[in-house]
Structures are given as C-alpha cells and as structure tokens.
Amino acid sequence: MPHPQPTFVIGIAPTSEEVDDLPAWRWWLETAAIGCLALAAVLGPLALGGTHAYGRLMINLLVAAATFVWILSAPRSGWLAWLPIGVAGLAMIQVLPLPLPLLALVAPFSHDVWATLDGGQTGGWATISIDPGATAAAIRQVFFGLSATVVTMDLCRDPRRRRLIVVAIGFSALLIWGLGLMFPMNNEHLLLGRVNLKGEEPAKWWCTTMVQPVRTSGCVENSQSQPVVVGSHQYALPRWQIGDGIGSYIVSNHFAGGIYLTLPVLIGLCRRRLRGPVWAWGGATLAIVMFAAAIWTVWAGAHSRAGAAATLVAAVVFMAIAAAEGTARRCWGAVCALTLTAMAILTAVFLGVAPGLLGLLPDWLAPSVSVAMQDPRIGLYHAAIAAFLRSPLFGTGLGTYGFVS
C-alpha cells in the first residue's frame, strides 16, 4: 500500500513511516541534514573553538543548511520547527524600542543605564537591551543552536543516524583532547604551533588592542593603552587580554568545556562496546581511568579549576547513569548526590550567599577556598546577581553580561 505524500507545511507532521520506507529523495535530505551537523561537531573545535569570525560563519552555515534541508524533508514532528522561531521571536522583545515609562517598569536596570549613558536624551524611547547589536548577534546564535537541537531530536530517532551523530561527537572529543596534549600551553603563546596569541607590545604581551574582543579571553586590562594616533586625532583603546591557548582553543576554559561536553559521549561509545559479564567491571574501570586522565588534563594542562570540577561532575553523573541495576547504581547515585551537594555548597560560598558555610569546610580545603574567594571575578558574579534581581523577567539583553560587569 503506498504511503501518503508528506506535507511541506511547517508545523504539520506527516505520516510516521520508517526510515527504510522513505522515498529516496527524503532519505537523502534527512541524511544530508545529519551529515551537516556531524561535520559541524568535528570542524567546530578546529575553527579555534568558533572564536574566529570565519569559523563561526562556517558552523552557522552548516547548521543553517541542516535546518533548511530538514524542513524540506517534511519533519515528522513539525511543531519542533516552531521552537527556534518562537524563542528567537520572544527574545526580539529585548531589541524593540519601548517608551521609557514602560521600560522603567519591565527593566529598571536598563532604564537607568540608558539614562546614564545618554544623559536622559533618549527621545523618550529605549530598548531593554543595553547593547542591541550584541543582543541581536546572541539571538542569532540562540536560533542556530535551537535549530540544531530540533533537527537532532527529530531525525535521530533512527538508530543509524543517531549513531552517526554520536560517533562525530566522540571523534570530536578525541580531537579536542588530542590537540590539547599535542599543543599544550607554552611560553611563546602559539596556538597549534602557528597561531600567535601575543599582543603587539613586548612590555605587555598578554594584552592587545588589535584583536577583536571575541578572539581574546574577553577581559580588559585596567590600564588604557598609549593613545593611538590617526591623522590629527588620538584615541585610547582598551587592552584586551589574549587567551592562554591550549590545543585548538584560545581560552583554556573553552577547552575544558569541549572536554566535559564531549568526553562522556566517547566513553559511552566505549562502554557500549564493552558489554557483557566479562567487561562489566572492565568497562567501568576504563571509564574511571579516562575521566581521571581528562580531569588531570584540564586541571594541570589547562589550569582550569572550574573546568576540572565540571569534568568531575560529568564523571560521577555518567557513572551513576551507566551503572547497572543494584548495588553499583546505588553507590554511584550516592556519590553523585554528595558531589552535587559539595558543588552547591562551594558555589554558595563563592557567591556570598552563605558566607558562614566557609567555617564548615574541612581544614585542608578552607585555606584554598579562602584564597579563591579573593579572585576579582567574584565581583563579577555579584554584579550579575544584582543586575538579575533588578530585571529578573527581561534581563538586560542577551550577550550584554560583559557590558554590565
């Protein structure tokens, strides 16, 4: 019996035929969509973590191509196509001009910022976002990210396509980790052995006024650079701090994020191949060894404390999920609960939510936490909390945290 022709109207799900029963044209479109996402997962780390403009453009084009051909193939769950559109549409409220009285009501923090910057000369209108350009760029990235998510949700119901995505992410984990070991941090600050991260002044090589902020660590040196002369005018440019550089990533924390987001998938692939009574403990041991090595790489190689902690959390959560029924699952579940509780307590201490908890920490841990609490970034956390409490509903605009802090 022939299958009914699928509809091309977004939001209307066609018949749910099996992949083997699909028309050839639709099979190729869906496979091409998954192929684009798998290629983006592998090429993303090589594009300096997506920090370079051309790298971001390449990743976005691959996601856009996957989304486009997915829509042409008449998705089984057509309502998913509306999710990126709906979220991006709601976020656009942040860049729409609003009357100042309404802005003061829904986003008082933004209202005060606009009044301070423009001396109150806003013409009676202003936006929720305190940097509309940055917010528009962030909304675009949210749209692409959600588009990749819904395409994966719809097409990866088929195990073969799901396997392709999983293998691509696992290979990406090997790529990120391997490049990090092959090209560690170095005194020359060369990324991948050839990309120079040093600034233009030997006296302050860790700063630059020539590289775009998105290609640096995102921090500004407190002191301004020497005036830059352009014709008869002089300008003072902020010194953007370059990244520390490890593997293919400009910023070590980004490298850590690449590790703990992809490594569990790679280890899951290994555990999948090591099933059965003989490998029951062998697979668990391999997973623990790989996670321990990754934590060491992130801690000692990338010098990322938060990244190492996140990798530890990923490890215990993975082991709790992957453990078989019975004693092993209960034990790993308890370890997972204790780890998450400890992380919550440390977070509360760092953010100043519960300063009294510092006295409850063990003697071997309290001094290190006390030193870490002197980190100037603690002030940035408090600034973010203060901004959120003043505008909890609409915020100050996506992508504006750096401006606020």
**DSSP 8-state class, residue 301:** I
Alpha-carbon distance values, 385 to 135, 139, 347 (Å): 19, 22, 13
Would the CA dihedral through 175, 47, 186, 314 be positive or negative?
A: negative
Phi, psi of 57, rounded to the nearest 5 degrees: -65, -40
Name the pTM for this structure.
0.79
Q: 121, exposed or middle or buried, with CB in 10 Å at 0-12, 13-18, 19+?
A: exposed
Alpha-carbon distance values, 105 to 89, 124, 130, 141, 367 (Å): 21, 14, 16, 28, 44
Q: How far apart are CA 111 and CA 99, in angstroms?
A: 10
**Percent helix, percent strand, percent coil in the chain, to nearest 5:** 65, 5, 30
Q: How far apart are CA 340 and CA 336, in angstroms?
A: 6
Q: How far apart are CA 260 and CA 243, in angstroms?
A: 20
Q: How far apart are CA 405 and CA 373, in angstroms?
A: 18
> For residue 261, which of 149, 159, 170, 165 has the smallest C-alpha distance?
170
Q: Can you tell me whether residue 223 is helix, strand or coil? A: coil
* CB contact set of 361 (below 8 Å; sequence gap of 6+): 345, 349, 369
Task: Give the count of beta carbons closer than 10 Å to the beta carbon of residue 224.
Answer: 12
What are the b/e assignments for 71-82, b being 16+ CB within 10 Å?
bebbbbbbebbe
* pLDDT digit string (tens) for the chain, length 405 residues: 444 444 333 333 344 445 556 778 788 888 899 999 999 999 988 888 877 778 888 999 999 999 999 988 877 777 888 889 999 999 999 999 988 888 888 888 888 888 877 665 656 788 899 888 889 999 999 999 999 999 998 888 888 888 899 999 999 999 999 999 998 888 777 778 777 777 666 666 677 766 666 667 667 766 556 667 777 887 777 777 777 788 888 888 889 999 999 999 998 888 776 665 555 677 788 888 999 999 999 999 888 888 898 999 999 888 888 877 778 788 888 998 998 888 887 777 777 676 666 666 677 777 776 777 777 777 777 777 777 887 888 888 888 876 666
Note the helical H segments in 50-81: 53-72
